[in-house]
Chains A and B, each alone.
Chain A
């Protein structure tokens, strides 16, 4: 998938001017945030579960080689096959190879962020395969030829009228007006595809080392129809999605839906282990798991290892004030919001993603809700540091920080400068006590006034207080 993160600022301007998007984002915020809040308030064990989930993920990451090999052995024992993809190109070639070998024409897909990450649809379509996204949200954005704008609600930015227009263009009229009619229409159209499909591709919320199972968690049942009715089931998943045992899946199940969609559970949790067994009346003839690295192993053992705990629930973006204002498309790649602002620079490079770590206010809400306690603000700060080391940050900023440092390391000078500034700003504030223009801060003061300082520094006031 193309990276359009360099256009972040331009996209933000467009997004902020879009009233539909504002409505949609406002709605989702209410639903997801309130839903999570109510459930968490009613679950005294929640914080303990978060600690345990963090610990399980850390345990897996520290022994990732072992668990991956164990998973592979179990998949093989169940009659399936594991493929290892070092990068996106590897992943595309592996899946193209499978589709070619089985003589596929129609390919159905359940939701898979990894497949977006490796640009799978484009690669399959370029080879002439018909690829159909079956998650309703993914189906809508496939018709619109857009990337997802949220990892669990990919078409969150589309209004009912826009969906109706897309459906009319794709399926013929008459144009539908209610959500129910639209859902029914998609249901009927996609039914046909499930039964025709040669290959069904799904993601994997978890890969269970103990049993060699891949697990998908959905509300619609599309992933299940995809993987049950196609001749061949292909799972695409990141190497970090391993959990040791079935009991560990149960732990994560208590956190995933509550954190992400604000539900006590999703409707379907499905474990797939190998192809259909002798005597099974249905199920796929072949089962493949493509383990995708694509930059993940490089994050191990360093400052960004914590990010590999992510279970892709969406809580961080649901609670992010920046995501809530600009939506997912502004981020310019597959993963939006706080988790995307960490992953995108690591996966596609620091220079084309410059704005992402800087579009964070470091308010910390994401970290407060992350079910696996990823210190997202810290990681974003670390990325800013790396930008600075790589010489990517503006020279004026570097100079200003150097100047600040020079002053801050000299307490007398620092206090004197502070006194001077406090008095000067008070004078500039005039009788209103407000500053209408800030030097170097015009973008901020162009929209509002800054209350002027009262003429004394904090240290002066502190001493005055102590004397009293």
Chain B
């Protein structure tokens, strides 16, 4: 507590003023930044896919949400993965194939694959936005080797800033965690050689649904 006032006093002393006046505080509270947003174009879905794949993510396109289980099964079959996964609760009600076992998380140490929803996609750099909550444990985004994200085309936004109104409108406001994820985990820490799957998922696969949510 002593340090708190020492630091704040020192700051004000160095700035050559006392605490701010109520008018100055009101002006700060009214500040609404409008920074330059970079040109992104109008083909948001195409840009998202190109950017996401360029960062070693992969994308599979399906027509409806009902086809998500098929896409998951195809992914697992292609890589020879067992038919089990951590599946976020909002997706549990889909028609999963017989013999596919799933649980809502959190992810355990031996988790191989997770399937989650997301709040939005961002076309600017090709990333998905994953808020934590009762239906979306953060461990699903980082622990499994394979992370499959269900994203609807209608959820793809233009710029980073476009996502903040959605986050502020979440029940309970800002969640404990918001992850903005642009592809699989990577490192360049050994001889600056790019290597995927440093600590987080080795592969992030977006299942892009054409039908609106």
Q: Which residues of A contact B (CB under 8 A)?
A: 24, 27-28, 31, 43-45, 48-49, 52, 56, 62-69, 78, 84-86, 90, 134-137, 140, 153-156, 158-160, 163, 179-180, 182-184, 186-187, 190-192, 195, 211-213, 219-222, 224-225, 228-229, 239, 244-251, 253-254, 261, 264-277, 279-283, 291, 293, 297-302
Contacts of B38 in A (CB 8 A): 43, 45, 49, 254
Chain A residues, CB < 8 A from B121: none
A293 touches B7 (CB 8 A): yes
Which of B62-70, B90-98, B112-120, B138-146 lies at the interface? B138-146
Indicate which residue in A159, A224, A280, A301 contacts B14 across the interface (CB closer than 8 Å): A301
- Contact of A268 with B179 in the complex, beta carbons under 8 Å: yes
Report the minimum CB–CB distance from A9 to chain B (whole Å): 28
**Given A90-B3, A211-B173, A275-B176, 15 new contacts (CB under 8 A):** A63-B24, A66-B24, A84-B1, A140-B189, A158-B190, A183-B190, A183-B195, A219-B198, A222-B198, A225-B142, A246-B161, A267-B181, A267-B184, A273-B176, A280-B134
Of B71-79, B103-111, B148-156, B205-213, the one contacting chain A is B103-111
Among B164-194, those with CB < 8 Å from A are 164, 167, 172-193
Interface residues of B in 19-55 (CB under 8 A from A): 19-20, 24-25, 28, 31-33, 35-36, 38-39, 51, 55
A271-B178, A302-B14 in contact; A250/B160 too (CB < 8 A)?
Answer: yes
Whether B199 pairs with A220 at a CB distance below 8 angstroms is yes
In the complex, number of A-B residue pairs with CB atoms less than 8 Å apart: 258
Partner of B176, one of A56, A84, A134, A276: A276
Question: How many residues belonging to B are interface residues under a CB distance threshold of 8 Å?
Answer: 75
Contact B200 A245 (CB under 8 A): no
Q: Is the CB of B187 within 8 A of A220?
A: yes
A323 to chain B, nearest CB (A): 15
* Set of chain B residues within 8 Å of A264, measured between Cβ atoms: 51, 55, 125
Partner of A195, one of B39, B109, B201: B109
Asked if residues B20 and A228 are in contact (CB atoms below 8 Å), the reply is no
Contact (A270, B31) CB under 8 Å given A137-B189, A220-B185? no
A328 to chain B, nearest CB (A): 14
Contact for B106 among A27, A244, A273, A281, CB less than 8 A = A281
Most buried by B among A78, A155, A267: A267
CB-CB under 8 A from B19, the residues of chain A are 65
A250–B199 touching, CB < 8 Å: no
Asked if A84 meets B172 with Cβ closer than 8 Å, knowing A135-B189, A267-B182, A269-B180, the reply is: no
Query: How far in angstroms is the closest Cβ of chain B from A275?
Result: 7
Q: Which residue of B lies closest to A300 (CB)?
A: B14
Partner among A249, A282, A298 whose Cβ is within 8 Å of the Cβ of B137? A282
Cβ-defined contact, A86 with B3, below 8 A: yes
A298 and B7 CA atoms in complex are apart in Å by 10
A138 to B172, CA, bound (A): 36
Q: Which of A84, A272, A282, A299 contacts B3 (CB 8 A)?
A: A84
Pick the residue among B14, B25, B105, B189 that contacts A66 (CB under 8 A). Answer: B25
**Can you name the residue of chain A whose Cβ is closest to the Cβ of B198?**
A220
Do residues B164 and A190 form an inter-chain contact, with CB atoms below 8 A?
A: no
Could you name 29 residue pairs across A and B whose Cβ atoms are closer than 8 Å?
A31-B192, A52-B36, A65-B11, A65-B20, A78-B174, A135-B189, A140-B189, A158-B190, A183-B195, A187-B199, A220-B187, A220-B200, A245-B33, A246-B161, A247-B33, A250-B159, A251-B33, A251-B35, A264-B51, A268-B180, A268-B181, A268-B200, A271-B178, A271-B179, A275-B176, A279-B134, A283-B132, A283-B177, A300-B15
Does B55 contact A49, Cβ atoms closer than 8 Å? Answer: no
Residues of A close to B142: CB separation below 8 A:
221, 224-225, 228
Asked whether, in the complex, the Cβ of B180 is within 8 Å of the Cβ of A182, the reply is no
Q: In the complex, what residue of chain A is closest to B104 when comparing beta carbons? A: A281
A residues near B189, Cβ cutoff 8 Å: 135-137, 140, 153-155, 220
Q: In this complex, what residue of B is CB-closest to A87?
A: B3
Taken together as a complex, chains A and B put the C-alpha atoms of A302 and B143 apart, in Å, by 47
Q: Nearest chain-B residue to A261 (Cβ)?
A: B188
- Asked if A66 and B20 make an inter-chain contact with CB atoms under 8 angstroms apart, the answer reads yes
Q: A219-B185, A253-B160 are in contact. Are A160 and B191 (CB under 8 A)?
A: yes
Whether B161 contacts A250 by the Cβ 8 Å rule is yes
CB pair A63 B28 closer than 8 Å: yes
- B109 A221 Cβ-Cβ under 8 A: no
- The 4 A-B pairs of least Cβ separation, nearest first, read A221-B200, A250-B160, A137-B189, A300-B14
Q: Which chain A positions have C-beta within 8 A of B15?
A: 62, 64-65, 300-301
Chain B CB within 10 A, most for which of A48, A134, A272: A272
Q: Cα distance A224–B147 when bound, in Å?
A: 15
Find out whether the CB atom of B190 lies under 8 angstroms from the CB atom of A280: no
Chain B residues with Cβ under 8 A from A253's Cβ?
160
Contact A183 B197 (CB under 8 A): yes
For the complex, give the distance between the alpha carbons of A276 and B178 in Å: 12
State whether A229 touches B191 (Cβ < 8 A): no
Q: Which residues of A contact B137 (CB under 8 A)?
A: 280-283
Q: Which residue of A lies closest to B179 (CB)?
A: A270
Instruction: Report the Cα distance A157→B107, complex, angstroms.
Output: 36
Which A residues are in CB contact (< 8 Å) with B109? 191-192, 195
B177 x A270 contact (CB < 8 A)? yes
Chain A min CB distance to B118 (Å): 14
Give the complex CA separation of A213 and B11 in angstroms. 22
B198 with A27: CB separation less than 8 A? no
B16 within 8 A of A: yes
Q: How far in angstroms is the closest Cβ of chain B from A146? A: 14
A184–B142 Cα distance when bound, in Å, is 15
- Docked Cα-Cα span, A163 to B176, in Å, equals 36
Measured CB to CB, the closest approach of chain B to A261, in angstroms, equals 8
B8 adjacent to chain A (CB < 8 Å)? yes
